[in-house]
Amino acid sequence: MAKEVKKMVANNKKAFFDYFIEDKYEAGISLAGTEVKSLRMGKCSIKEAFIRIEKGEVYVYNMHISPYEKGNIFNKDPLRVKKLLLHRYEIRKIEGQIAQKGYTVVPLNVYFKGSLVKVEIGLAKGKKLYDKRQEIAKKDQRREAEKQFKVKNLY
């Protein structure tokens, strides 16, 4: 069995800074033809995107897919609400965790898996300000340690 090749289109680095990601799911996404062509050119942003579950269906809001240049009348609104495709049991599981524990669902990245567009979504819990400060401090320490290591190995 051949391994599927994943081609990254968009990444949401801010989600990893603002949230503790507890669980990840892979979802398909319902798109129009010109939107897929635009994604193939890498024109997508999920920085301000968020996900809601309404009437047992999952939707992503504020996911910006730039209009395809040659699409003219077939282009859709760049910020239209897009439906995510998940199994019913996954949706129920996510809904239950959102209701009980105060989780939220955020898109982590958009990629092509073969010829299909997939969105990786994460079940996340918000970080407090002090958690973010600790994260920054850890990054600074790691950077400083790497710098010291480089300097030591040069001599």
Whether residue 147 is contained in a domain is answered as: no
Identify which of 71, 5, 86 has the alpha carbon closest to the alpha carbon of residue 32: 71
Please tell me the predicted confidence (pLDDT) of residue 69: 74
Residues 51-104: tens digit of each pLDDT: 888 888 888 888 878 777 776 666 666 677 888 888 988 888 888 888 877 788
CATH number of the structural domain spanning residue 54: 2.40.280.10
CA distance 121 to 60: 10
Smallest CA-to-CA distance from 51 within 22, 26, 20, 84 is with 84
Residue 35 lies in a domain: yes
CB 71 within 8 A of CB 59: no
pLDDT tens digits for range 51-61: 888 888 888 88
Among candidate residues 17, 13, 23, the one with its CA nearest the CA of residue 105: 23
Q: Residue 106 is part of which domain span? A: 6-127
The domain total for the chain is 1
